[in-house]
Amino acid sequence: MNQENTIGIAVRFFIIVLAGTICSAIIGGVFGALVAKISPELIESLFNPKNHITRYAAAVGMIWGLFIGASVSGFACFLATIIKILRLRFEKKS
């Protein structure tokens, strides 16, 4: 495995993590706004915003979506890296 191939794989994994995180932030924001539209009392009791309950819930949902998306995407790329390393080791032994 040469240096350019390794850097290309790392950049590809970074782009996958970034895309997964952005997608999960959007999903989290939509889910937060949906919950605020359905039950504004729940959002008021949880966060106590002064006004713009839907925007506040969407922002909180996006933040949690970023956290969850980054951790899941990072873990998936970590597993893919481990599998790739194991595959290379088994190919060398053969």
In a domain, 8, yes or no: no
In a domain, 4, yes or no: no
In a domain, 5, yes or no: no
In a domain, 23, yes or no: yes
- The tens digit of pLDDT for each residue in 16-73 reads 878 888 889 999 999 999 998 998 888 888 877 778 888 888 999 999 998 998 888 8
Domain of residue 30: give its range: 13-93
* Count: domains in the chain: 1
From CA 87, how far away is CA 26, in angstroms rounded? 35
Instruction: Please report, as a single letter, which amino acid is at residue 61.
Output: G
In a domain, 2, yes or no: no
In a domain, 35, yes or no: yes
Q: Which pTM value belongs to this model?
A: 0.71
